[in-house]
Chain A
């Protein structure tokens, strides 16, 4: 497959007669996708795997403190190590914070990369780094420049079931707007759930009929539309007519049909299982993510609360760490019980970590020079610690890991060829991972 990558000619889509182009509903697939099918076929030929995997992300916007979670420094002075004690886990020699008791039981499935760095300490550019693998926007000039990994996955793999949106964010898209598709095109933006899955009356606004509109009305409208929407698709060589018609059918099916609405219906879950995930936004978000992935969504991002704790970091963490712990651990156990763990990659990361030294406001500030991310499932090796930070956590001590490497690991796991390029808005072929390499220790 790299042969293809290195040959500039093959960046062009393969030849497709225009009649065939229309049959394929070009805008849905995107011409470049035909190329992708070929690339993917080659990738799978070489690895023997199939595009069956999906990804669930716990995004920690604002930046989670690595020293209070996955990279404890118990031997550092108190102003560095903070109040939490490390606890032993199911993997000998691996310790996590005492606020992660649930994950400690399933640590054999969890691997932590402790040597991530990108060097930018401002939220927006850092979020862009971690979501897209590229440096780009600044605080003030913050327009997104590259597509998020979720959008790349959406474009590269699509949904595993045609009715489902391929890429979903819970509750909404975050990360300073960097969870979108940019030049990949609007179809690859995330489907935003738009409401709190832990709410008693949880409903998805986009799938919920507005006031005054009944399901019967929708059926009437659908039937009438069939009678009136008669403009011939083949009149249009760009495929826009056919494409929009296709999406109209999908939307009507989503709203009026069962498959998608069921996938979003958390009340169909056993209340005991819902309790195990935790009755909070993180837990129910994780459970919803599992339902979506089961129904055919390929990437779900659960955006957790804001972790930018410049003041009183530890009282704040008390609000966030226990629910995050429950959500991740319950998801791992649930997936394992369903035999899905090897097919679902779990990833927990934010834009950066936090300063090793506690500041004058009992908080921790932004720290991009060395921080941790978590992987589990997806067929990756669990129980691994990848890379090390210095004794006080300030810098990478061994195995520096970049945002590119993290994305390369994700794409590789999902079966997306790392050689994949998409043209940016100026038509330049732009790599999905640039120089990144999958983390070999995990594979």
Chain B
């Protein structure tokens, strides 16, 4: 363990009192009459000549307020302020903050005649009762900044003031041991060419507090486990990122399970070599590959959303060929289940929502859109064209089903948030009201993206204009989006600009799509590569998958880049991308941990078990018990045998699907589909008529076993193969046969046995 503590730079020297014209309320003006002294303000003439020791509102005061937590989202930074005092969130609006501090509340927050008696300071020090308690010590550095600024006449922010141009952190990456410490050093570079150590004024946040925490002074402390982490360092509106690596185990303990041959093979593979590199770097020994029975179940569930049939399991187990995994994956991609299951995934992301004013009126549209998505996936429509056809859709649901996307996504906010989360992998919500606190995204980005859709017109549809049913989507000749803070009319533009040309003869949506699907677009292909990787590995390389930002870096940038490049080079071939992910070494690993990977969640060194999604689970019950589920539809039922993954929208009544996490499709975030355990799920298993009816059906699997002529042991064997895709272990056969023999009523006995197998985590989870 080593400790390297660097002494942070010293703070301000003696304050230079500088009188600047500010607008004070009449009372204070009486006490403290100040006149503007523009000619004497050296900074106004030559910004480079500003004094290091001068206190500037935006450069010095606002970051101090941020450091002290005054403008945080739980306090005066929230949209409604706190007790009548509202600051901009994390200081994104210095002008507004200046107004709030100096002008509002009749100027009572400052007391220039005796600066230390200013309410701003007395509240912050707790001398005057403060809901937020004491935030700062009298005479501490942060206190001095505020006091010096007030003493200097509380100068207003001016355009020519030096501002924070850039923040840098030293070091910006490091390999640390467990239970280690490291002092970060932060420098703010100002627009006047000066720079200053702001280690003590900066704000720090670790993205993986389990791996490493960071305190207010910039001292990192790693935990007793390993992993990757990033620390966001913010000063003012600018931030820098430190990347940390904490290996799990010393070098010599690595990789006893990776033979020389395997190592060679992995190093040759364009994807696997990046996994190997990460495992090496972190000192992780990956788990050994899962057995064949586990793998065939795993991959059939993940590609087709169903359990493998007994004969599929048997054929795979019996296949002696070394390339059988790749052939299995190819076969599953041609199975109709693939299109159905991935259509369900995309119907969630594309918010093909049936619940609303009138499900019966909306069903026709959701059914058409669901079918369109399924066909597109079955045809392996290249992903760029798939997205383009949706975002640029015009017409009616009958002539062009992707227009149904515009039924759910219909406001400025929804356009921006759905498009950015679904296709760009970023969360722009924050930038609706303020600068994104952890990314270089502004309100201009938000409203520029909104402007892309400002000419989307709608006509027809159901009587109530707010009810989105069977409208015709068309391009209006004009339409505008206003940036609410500046009042500016926004031109359509992609994230980061520049503006698109905006002619009434062109559709800005086409220009946006053109920008998005360009091979060098930093968001589009990467988001899809990450999404598909997360589908198979249970976690994105960027996690969560829709939250890419520099302060939330990918756990394996080279791996993500390799997947992205493969995807782009294939011409956005989704099946190709799936093949790469499903054939990767990581996807084949067992869930049983090794000594060094048990606590790792970032490096894909073992399989992470996850509960079957609601629809897949319900279909799995129907399939194993041989009794289809009946779904209520408008004016009757869906055709017998309709699978849950093929339902057109989320508005089909099913308590089972609801409790097991079927999403409401109210956002484009896959996180809406939750797999968190809940009591309702367990009750559904234990006491719902749905499961019991399937168990007790005279046409079902339980009845078939009870009535058949096979021995209990043979029946137990088929039940295990059908339910777990594996033969039973001898002790399991013993328990089951013992139970069956002790029961008088064979059909009740088989119902109980099957229930107890179906209620196991082994059945409920993909593992």
Contact = CB atoms under 8 A, between A and B. Distances in A.
Interface of A: 2-3, 5-9, 11-13, 15-19, 21, 27-28, 138-145, 165, 185-187, 189, 191, 206-213, 217-218, 220-221, 224-225, 227-231, 234-238, 240-241, 243-248, 250-252, 254-255, 419, 421, 425-429, 431, 434-435
Contacts of B69: 6-9
B649 to A, nearest CB: 13
B132 A3 contact: yes
Nearest to B689: A210
5 contacts: A9-B205, A189-B678, A211-B692, A427-B547, A428-B430
Q: Which 4 A-B pairs have the closest CB atoms?
A: A224-B756, A251-B682, A6-B75, A8-B72
Which residue among B659, B664, B680 has the maximum number of chain A CB atoms within 10 Å of its CB?
A: B680
A212 to B, nearest CB: 5
A187 to B, nearest CB: 4
Contacts of B82: 6
B739 A224 contact: yes
B210 A18 contact: yes
Given A228-B756, A231-B761, A425 B75 contact: no
A421 B74 contact: yes
B735 interface: yes
A435 B679 contact: no
Contacts of B131: 2, 6
Interface stretch (B31-39, B181-189, B251-259, B607-615): B607-615
Given A140-B468, A187-B679, A221 B756 contact: yes
Interface in B659-713: 659, 661, 664, 666-667, 669, 671-672, 674-683, 685-689, 692-693, 696
Nearest to B353: A143
A241 B763 CA distance: 11
Nearest to B133: A3
Contact of B225 (A17, A27, A220): A17
B498 interface: no
A207 B205 CA distance: 46
Interface stretch (B48-56, B395-403, B579-587, B591-599): B591-599
Contact of B678 (A9, A19, A186, A431): A186
Interface of B: 69-70, 72-76, 78, 80, 82, 131-135, 205, 209-210, 213, 216, 223-225, 353, 355-357, 417, 427, 429-430, 464, 466-468, 544, 547, 591-593, 598-599, 601, 608-611, 659, 661, 664, 666-667, 669, 671-672, 674-683, 685-689, 692-693, 696, 732, 735-736, 739, 743, 748, 751-753, 755-757, 759-762, 764-765, 767
A211 B686 contact: no
A206 B80 contact: no
Contact of A236 (B216, B223, B608, B748): B608
A427 B545 CA distance: 13
A255 B687 contact: yes
B73 A429 contact: yes
Nearest to B462: A140
Nearest to A21: B210
A238 B752 contact: no
Nearest to B66: A8
Contacts of B74: 5-8, 11, 419, 421, 429, 431
A78 to B, nearest CB: 36
Contacts of A139: 357, 464, 466
Contacts of A2: 131-133
* Most-contacted residue by chain A among B70, B593, B681, B761 (CB, 10 A): B761
B761 A229 contact: yes
Contacts, number: 238
Given A186-B674, A431-B74, A217 B608 contact: no
**Counting chain B CB atoms within 10 Å of each CB, which of A189, A241, A255 scores highest?**
A241
A7 B72 contact: yes
Nearest to A190: B680
B139 to A, nearest CB: 20
Contacts of B464: 139-140
B672 A425 contact: yes
Contact of A220 (B667, B683, B739, B757): B739
A16 B213 CA distance: 11
Contact of A213 (B205, B593, B692, B760): B692
B132 A6 contact: yes
Contacts of A227: 732, 735, 756
B686 A218 contact: yes
A7 B592 CA distance: 40
Given A140-B357, A236-B608, A245 B761 contact: yes
A421 B608 CA distance: 30
A221 B759 CA distance: 9
A143 B354 CA distance: 11
Contacts of A142: 355-357
Most interface-central of B133, B468, B547, B677 (chain A CB within 10 A): B677
B213 A251 contact: no
Contacts of A141: 356, 466, 468
A205 to B, nearest CB: 8
The CB with the most chain B CB atoms within 10 A, among A5, A6, A13, is that of A6
A228 B760 contact: yes
Contacts of A143: 353, 355, 664, 666
Nearest to A165: B679
B677 A187 contact: yes
Contacts of B75: 5-6
A165 B659 CA distance: 15
A209 B687 contact: yes
Nearest to B735: A227
A187 B676 contact: yes
Nearest to B739: A224
A148 to B, nearest CB: 15
A442 to B, nearest CB: 20
Contacts of B427: 426-427
A418 to B, nearest CB: 10
Nearest to B214: A9
B551 to A, nearest CB: 12
B760 A231 contact: yes
B687 A138 contact: no
A252 B686 contact: yes
Given A7-B69, A140-B468, A237 B682 contact: no
| Chain A CB within 10 Å, residue with most, of B205, B674, B676, B753 | B676
Contacts of A435: 80
Nearest to B70: A6
A224 B735 contact: yes
Nearest to B611: A240
B17 to A, nearest CB: 31
A138 B134 CA distance: 42
Contact of A231 (B216, B544, B748, B767): B767
Which of B593, B659, B679 has the most chain A CB atoms closer than 10 A to its own CB?
A: B679
B53 to A, nearest CB: 29
A251 B678 contact: no
Contacts of A236: 591, 608-609
Contact of B752 (A15, A224, A254): A224
Nearest to B411: A141
Nearest to B225: A18
A221 B760 CA distance: 11
B106 to A, nearest CB: 22
B691 to A, nearest CB: 8
B700 to A, nearest CB: 13
A318 to B, nearest CB: 32
B94 to A, nearest CB: 19
A251 B679 contact: yes
Contacts of B133: 2-3, 6
Given A15-B213, A221-B759, A241 B609 contact: yes
A46 B667 CA distance: 40
A254 B683 contact: yes
A297 to B, nearest CB: 12
Given A15-B210, A17-B225, A228-B732, A243 B593 contact: no
A191 B757 contact: no
A16 B466 contact: no
